[in-house]
């Protein structure tokens, strides 16, 4: 799904004009695999954590811009289930980033009416990280603006396995029947059950793979890859992705208009 901005604010109109957008179709849900923080730091002879710190600044910048454009959901792949394999010092730093980010950004989050959510295995995170995320989600739970959704300790295969286990248990309990299971049923057991499927997936740093990210949800999502490293990703790069998205013919396996004739 994508939405047509109606009754746009002057700021939204200016942003679209500055971005040279061809029309007013803005993706409702944008998902981003934020990649390249370490390489950004290495190119500058800096420690990897410097890249993660700079990447955190990019998150703030892109969240603001997405909100100004009228995007409904912004899902950011912050930490995967495979990222635990990284050096301990790097993992420890990454686990502390939510507190650094939310402590500085929370006043603006509340002012902008942004809602913080998370997908992933919360229980496996350090208690301090859990507390920060839970506090942010609780404080913003009634906000009705942009949903800023962090994929933290997230792996799509693990998500699907968990969903299947829950569904099988309900079949065994007689809550649901096997014959009633369809795509919509499975959606209800996923961590994204309350969110629309992404319209646009962006991956930075030149990598062209999904890396175990939202495998079910991305079935009909438009992909956009860029060589830009995440710390260098900016508003103009996001608008380039949106402009390209707006040129796509999303058929969802069918035909459209003149193709049918």
Q: Which residues are annotated as a binding site for substrate?
A: 36-40, 48, 52, 80-82, 84, 86, 203, 209-211
Q: Which residues are annotated as a binding site?
A: 35-40, 48, 52, 80-82, 84, 86, 203, 209-211, 222
Q: Which residues are catalytic?
A: 35, 83
Reported as a single tens digit per residue, the pLDDT across 135-180 is 999 999 999 999 999 999 999 999 999 999 999 999 999 999 999 9
Question: What percentage of the chain exceeds 90 in pLDDT?
Answer: 85
Contact 105, 140 (CB under 8 A): no
Confidence band (pLDDT; 50, 70, 90) for 7? very low
C-alpha–C-alpha distance, residues 12 and 8, integer Å: 6
Q: Which residues are annotated as a binding site for Mg(2+)?
A: 35, 222
pTM for the whole structure: 0.89
CATH class of the structural domain 26-155+197-247: alpha beta
Q: What is the pLDDT of residue 20?
A: 46
* Of residues 243, 210, 207, 241, the one with CA closest to residue 224: 241
Reported as a single tens digit per residue, the pLDDT across 16-72 is 555 444 446 899 999 999 999 999 999 999 999 999 999 999 999 999 999 999 999
β-bridge partners, 202? 32, 224
Q: What is the pLDDT of residue 249?
A: 85
CA distances from 241 to 3, 132, 179, 205, 221 (A): 16, 32, 41, 14, 13
Long-range CB pairs of 10-19, under 8 A, 24+ apart, other chains included: 11/68, 12/68, 12/69, 12/70, 15/65, 15/68, 15/69, 15/239, 16/69, 18/239, 19/235, 19/236, 19/239, 19/242, 19/243
Given a cut of 70, is residue 126 above it in pLDDT? yes
């Amino acid at each position: 799904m994508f939405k047509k901005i109606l009754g746009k604010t002057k700021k939204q109109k200016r942003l679209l004009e500055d971005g040279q957008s061809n029309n007013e179709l803005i993706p409702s849900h944008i998902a981003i695999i934020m990649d390249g923080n370490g390489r950004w730091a290495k190119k500058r002879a800096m420690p990897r954590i410097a890249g993660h710190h700079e990447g955190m600044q990019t998150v703030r910048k892109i969240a603001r811009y997405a909100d100004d454009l009228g995007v409904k959901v912004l899902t950011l792949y912050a930490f995967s289930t495979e990222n635990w394999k990284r050096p301990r010092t790097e993992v420890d730093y990454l686990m502390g980033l939510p507190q650094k980010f939310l402590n500085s950004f929370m006043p603006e989050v509340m002012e902008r009416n942004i809602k913080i959510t998370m997908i992933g295995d919360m229980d496996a995170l350090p208690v301090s990280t859990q507390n920060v995320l839970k506090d942010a989600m609780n404080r913003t739970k009634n906000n009705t603006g942009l949903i800023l959704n962090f994929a933290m300790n997230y792996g799509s295969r693990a998500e699907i396995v968990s969903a299947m286990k829950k569904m099988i248990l309900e079949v065994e309990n007689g809550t649901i029947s096997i014959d009633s299971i369809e795509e919509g049923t499975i959606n209800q057991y996923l961590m994204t059950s309350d969110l629309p499927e992404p319209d646009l997936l962006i991956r930075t740093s030149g990598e062209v793979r999904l890396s175990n990210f939202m495998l079910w949800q991305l079935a009909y999502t438009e992909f956009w890859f860029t060589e830009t490293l995440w710390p260098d990703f900016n508003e103009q790069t996001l608008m380039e992705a949106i402009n390209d998205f707006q040129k796509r013919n999303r058929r969802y396996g069918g035909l459209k208009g003149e193709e049918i004739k």
